[in-house]
Amino acid sequence: MSQVVNAGFPILTATAAVPAIGAILTAAVPAARRTAAKWLALLVSLVTLALAAIVLVGFEPGGDRYQFVESHSWIKDFGVRYELGVDGIGVALIALTALLIPFVVLAGWHDADPLETKSSRWRPTQGFFALILAVEAMVILSFEATDVFLFYILFEAMLIPMYFLIGGFGDRAHAGSDENAAAQRSYAAVKFLLYNLVGGLIMLAAVIGLYVVAGNFSLTEIAEARASGQLEMATNTERLLFLGFFFAFAVKAPLWPLHTWLPNAMGEATAPVAVLITAVVDKVGTFAMLRFCLGLFPEASKWATPVIITLALISIVYGALLAVGQRDIKRLIAYASISHFGFIIMGIFAMTSQGQSGATLYMVNHGISTAALMLVAGFLISRRGSRLIADYGGVQKVAPVLAGTFLIGGLATLSLPGLAPFVSEFLVLVGTFARYPVAGIIATTGIVLAALYTLVLYQRTMTGPVKEEVRAMPDLRVRELAVVAPLIALLIFLGVFPKPLTDIVNPAVTHTMSDVQQKDPAPEVEAAK
């Protein structure tokens, strides 16, 4: 346990409790004090960030696998415990979540303001920020939970605030009429909910099955019992349980062909909520693959690997191709994310140190890069009131800073070296290639396609003659710059010096590799050092 944190202080609970309490307080702010609610939400998210920073600093990479452990009995009869602990991967993702929420809050500052026709008794502003904080609390707690049942509850519960965020606060830049917009929005929200509920339901069956087989819900105990041979699972049982868990995570991640909810949800939600979906909530899916699928069912994971790698490859190429074919900026980014999630999943299941480190870094880097790109896209869309690429042109002439930041976000998306995603993408490619050369080579086509959809997007929106409708477009405001600049700085920093992150992640990856009892393929020739 670290010196920074007083032993005994439940720091992990605190990181989740602060936003949870903040959510309640924000919701309780009187209707007329809208601005106060915004500042409160920002303050709470910053306090959470500070707590997450303490966890990050206090975490000892060389120490125990799970640190800051908290354990209390919860439902005695079923052996359910309130059990928290973080490994390097969890710490990295908690840091990512806590980092992004202040930007999401700041970027969404006006997204839930009342329309002029509404009265002063308008409350959704408070609701919007309260829901964002609620999502944050649940996501953070789900990264910390080492009890399968506790994780399951959070995994499902975070759907509720997300549902209201998507369905209740849509993108105001909508091509159709208001009713049409509302219909599309509720379609997207219901689709999101149903997909994830079905996944969750199947996972519930697997959770119960796991309890029947193992007799408790503790991740650490089960993994230990499995490793020491005390807990034998029949091959088929293990495979079925694995599939139950994996299906839920693959919906959330999302993996082809379970991806179709994401473009709808991201397209209809406001840009900050879209960031919340893809950069934060979806990461729970990939995180859980690493922690639960590989940790609890190593043999079944290896059994399923060929199929999963294939699906991930399809995701990479298919997502990128569909991104090329999109006409809507936000849907384009959504399909790009599907492609990137393919990389993450491929890295996880390549079962090499490089692949898994790369996948973990990818989760963090993708979060930052998508947030940068999506938030700038949101600023752009809010100016012109349209999501269609064809409605823009020549923006760089009137708003050079906006165009520049958009380009940097795009370059991060296409994994330009020097920006953070490159490091992770290359690690994933190398890690996959070492074990599955063909998959590695096919996946590299993803880097060409990524360049295609990003640059086409940039070209069509930002370059060329200035369109009449964008002529009066203002450049980024101070608040917007405050959102984008730190993200870009972080992208550059982590692209050149990712060591702080890899130091935290590496030991966790070593543990996972020993969970699945895999060694990296040795090089053919031992090169002269």
- Candidates 61-69, 285-293, 324-332, 374-382: pick the segment binding other proteins (CB under 8 A): 324-332
Burial 334-353 (b: 16+ CB within 10 A, else e): bbbbbbbbbbbbbbbbbbbb
Alpha helix segments (H runs only) across 253-352: 261-268, 271-275, 282-288, 295-296, 298-324, 329-350
* 186 vs 444, beta carbon nearer other proteins: 444
Pull the structure tokens for residue 202.
């199947």
- Candidates 92-100, 115-123, 173-181, 439-447: pick the segment binding other proteins (CB under 8 A): 439-447
Which residue in the set 418, 438, 474, 479 belongs to the binding site for other proteins (CB under 8 A)?
Answer: 418
Q: CA-CA-CA-CA torsion for 306, 308, 314, 315, nearest 10 degrees?
A: -160
Cα of 510 vs its chain's centroid, Å = 23
Site string for other proteins, 326-365 (x = CB under 8 A): x--------------------------xx--xx-------
Q: Does 528 bind other proteins (CB under 8 A)?
A: yes
- Candidates 103-111, 167-175, 284-292, 456-464: pick the segment binding other proteins (CB under 8 A): 456-464
Which residue in the set 498, 504, 508, 515 belongs to the binding site for other proteins (CB under 8 A)?
Answer: 498
Site string for other proteins, 360-399 (x = CB under 8 A): ----------------------------------x-xx--
Pull the structure tokens for residue 96.
């990512």
Q: Does 411 bind other proteins (CB under 8 A)?
A: yes
Q: Is 526 exposed, middle or buried (0-12, 13-18, 19+ CB in 10 A)?
A: exposed
* 77 vs 526, beta carbon nearer other proteins: 526
Which DSSP category does 77 fall into?
Answer: G
d(CA 277, CA 319): 17
The minimum distance between CB 61 and other proteins, in angstroms, equals 12
Q: Does 510 bind other proteins (CB under 8 A)?
A: yes
Which residue in the set 77, 178, 179, 526 belongs to the binding site for other proteins (CB under 8 A)?
Answer: 526
d(CA 423, CA 450): 15
Look-up of token digits 């710059």: 481
The minimum distance between CB 87 and other proteins, in angstroms, equals 15
Pull the structure tokens for residue 487.
């993200």
Pull the structure tokens for residue 483.
């959102």
Which residue in the set 444, 467, 482, 493 belongs to the binding site for other proteins (CB under 8 A)?
Answer: 444
| Among the listed residues 329, 479, 492, the one whose alpha carbon sits nearest the alpha carbon of residue 408 | 492
The minimum distance between CB 331 and other proteins, in angstroms, equals 10
CA angle, 139 as apex, 136 and 145 as ends, to 5°? 135
| Among the listed residues 193, 99, 203, the one whose alpha carbon sits nearest the alpha carbon of residue 148 | 203
Q: Which residues are within 8 A (CB) of 335 and not within 5 positions of it... i.e. 6 or more apart?
A: 263, 319, 320, 322, 323, 326, 453
Site string for other proteins, 104-143 (x = CB under 8 A): ----------------------------------------
- Category of 111 on φ-ψ map: left (φ > 0), alpha (ψ -120 to 50) or beta: alpha
Q: Which residues are within 8 A (CB) of 105 and not within 5 positions of it... i.e. 6 or more apart?
A: 38, 41, 42, 45, 129, 132, 272
- Candidates 97-105, 266-274, 367-375, 414-422: pick the segment binding other proteins (CB under 8 A): 414-422
* 110 vs 471, beta carbon nearer other proteins: 471
Q: Does 527 bind other proteins (CB under 8 A)?
A: yes
| Among the listed residues 203, 392, 400, the one whose alpha carbon sits nearest the alpha carbon of residue 289 | 203
Question: Of all helices (H) and strands (E), which one includes residue 14?
Answer: helix 11-28
Which residue in the set 8, 62, 229, 465 belongs to the binding site for other proteins (CB under 8 A)?
Answer: 465
* 244 vs 440, beta carbon nearer other proteins: 440
The minimum distance between CB 36 and other proteins, in angstroms, equals 34
Please list the residues that pair with 340 across neighbouring strands.
none
Q: Does 472 bind other proteins (CB under 8 A)?
A: no
* 13 vs 444, beta carbon nearer other proteins: 444
d(CA 68, CA 10): 8
The minimum distance between CB 455 and other proteins, in angstroms, equals 4
* 114 vs 404, beta carbon nearer other proteins: 404
Ramachandran angles phi, psi of 452, nearest 5°:
-60, -55
Q: Does 205 bind other proteins (CB under 8 A)?
A: no
Which parts of 159-198 interact with other proteins (CB under 8 A)? 194-195
Q: Does 61 bind other proteins (CB under 8 A)?
A: no
d(CA 220, CA 210): 14
Q: Does 257 bind other proteins (CB under 8 A)?
A: yes
- Candidates 21-29, 87-95, 282-290, 452-460: pick the segment binding other proteins (CB under 8 A): 452-460
Residue ranges binding other proteins (CB under 8 A): 194-195, 256-257, 259-260, 318, 321-322, 324-326, 353-354, 357-358, 394, 396-397, 404, 411, 416-418, 422-423, 426-427, 429-430, 433-434, 437, 440-441, 444-445, 447-448, 451-452, 455-456, 459, 462-466, 496-499, 502-503, 506, 509-510, 520-529
